[in-house]
Amino acid sequence: MIIVIKKGLLMFNASDSICRTSKERTDQSVTISFVLLSAYKGPLPSHFDTQTSNTHLLLLVESGKGSICIGEQEYRLFPGRCFLKPPGMTIQTVADEGEVVTVSELEFNGYKVTSVREVENVHVVQEPFCLPVSGELNESELGQAIRNLCERHENQIDRERFSSHCQLLSLVERIWEANERWRGNENLKAVEHTIRLMEQDYFKPLSREMLSKEAGMSPSHYSTVFRKVTGKSPMEYLAEIRIEKAKDKLLTSNARIRDIALGVGYASEFYFSNKFKKMTGISPREFISQNLGKKLLVSHTEAFSMTQTVPSRVIGLFVEDHLKVFWDQAFGPIRFWRISTTLSGIIFA
């Protein structure tokens, strides 16, 4: 077993303990925790220069207006709004002219603690952990919890310290959960937006990079989110749309396969044919042959709709006229229009 103490953290070579024979029991557990470092309640400088720290900074605006820049993203400061700066990111605040911005502020650190317990020994690794949240927070009713922690932080009683620690963990959990819920909704909206784009512009040369840019994500993250929502990769989903469009065109038009391929977004007829066969099990020409009846029916229906100009009641009216003449000659003229219409309707309906 190799154990190293580095920068105040106990480190070890986990492979030695985890890869032992099954005769020796080895258990591993991972815990994530947060520790409150400082609390502040009061005014901010009118111009707070850009600073970078390796701690989380949770800020509640109590009064005043201004602007805050976290990383490269700028937000407006208004009373009641909350912001979180993660470790390693810059922060800058500027108060509006004539305004004094007051805040309640919590500074805390996150830790990921990995414990490996063998038969006789327990080895621990502690490393920094960054909460995956940044910028303006969307969770409501955080203000009072932040104020309570600011007021209780200076208390020196151990039980109160423990209570404050539990409150901090509860607060962080609410922020984390709300951010995941909000991001989940935003991710769903982004995926739905790109799906609509695929359905509208399937004939254009779309790529994963272009779609991820539309979604506001990196290509790898976009693919992960898209698969989580649809069960398919973005390009698989796009290919399904294109092949379905190609099926319609193969049955409803007399265009060449090369032109149909271009019409659904494939520059190469060969690539299109291979893709079509891979997804349907048959080639485009085989698809036409197997669905020839449907194609003829569609063509016949279109042709019939273009040439049919004779009113459907011409035959009925012609028979009614002959019946009326026959009746007039045999029995004399009477009103027969209703009866003759009924008879013709029965005969020719």
In this predicted model, which residue has the larger pLDDT, 297 or 274? 274
What is the rounded average pLDDT for all residues in the chain? 78
- Percent of the chain whose predicted confidence (pLDDT) is above 90: 38
Domain boundaries, given as residue ranges, for the chain: 3-154, 253-307, 314-348
pLDDT score at 254: 87
The per-residue pLDDT for range 5-37, each reduced to its tens digit, is 333 443 333 333 333 334 455 577 888 999 999
pLDDT score at 261: 94
Place of tokens 């327990």: 122
Q: Is pLDDT of 1 > 80?
A: no
What number is the average pLDDT over the span 194-214?
A: 93
pLDDT score at 63: 94
pLDDT score at 241: 94
pLDDT score at 141: 77
The per-residue pLDDT for range 49-70, each reduced to its tens digit, is 667 788 999 999 999 999 999 9
pLDDT score at 55: 92
Q: What is the DSSP string of 179-219?
A: HHHHHHHHHHHHHHHHHHHHHHSTTS---HHHHHHHHTS-H
pLDDT confidence of 183, banded at 50, 70, 90? confident
Q: Is pLDDT of 304 > 70?
A: no
Rounded to a whole number of angstroms, the distance between the first and last alpha carbons of the chain is: 95
State how far the Cα of 196 lies from the Cα of 244, in Å rounded to an integer: 15
- The closest alpha carbon to 111, from 125, 99, 96, 91, belongs to 125
pLDDT score at 26: 58
- The closest alpha carbon to 199, from 233, 241, 231, belongs to 241
Q: Is pLDDT of 344 > 50?
A: no
pLDDT confidence of 291, banded at 50, 70, 90? confident
The per-residue pLDDT for range 246-260, each reduced to its tens digit, is 999 998 888 999 999
Q: Is pLDDT of 104 > 90?
A: yes
Q: Is 322 helix (H, G, I), strand (E, B) or coil?
A: helix
Residue 119 has what DSSP assignment? S
- Helix spans in the chain (H): 14-18, 143-152, 158-200, 208-215, 219-230, 234-252, 257-263, 269-280, 284-290, 292-307, 314-331, 337-348
What number is the average pLDDT over the span 271-297?
A: 85
- The closest alpha carbon to 109, from 160, 35, 59, belongs to 35
In this predicted model, which residue has the larger pLDDT, 309 or 159? 159
pLDDT score at 324: 53
Q: Is pLDDT of 314 > 50?
A: no
pLDDT score at 23: 44
pLDDT score at 49: 64
pLDDT score at 282: 93
| CATH 2.60.120.10 at 3-154, yes or no | yes
What number is the average pLDDT over the span 109-138?
A: 84
Please answer whether residues 190 and 216 qualify as being in contact, where contact means their C-beta atoms are separated by less than 8 angstroms. yes
pLDDT score at 19: 36
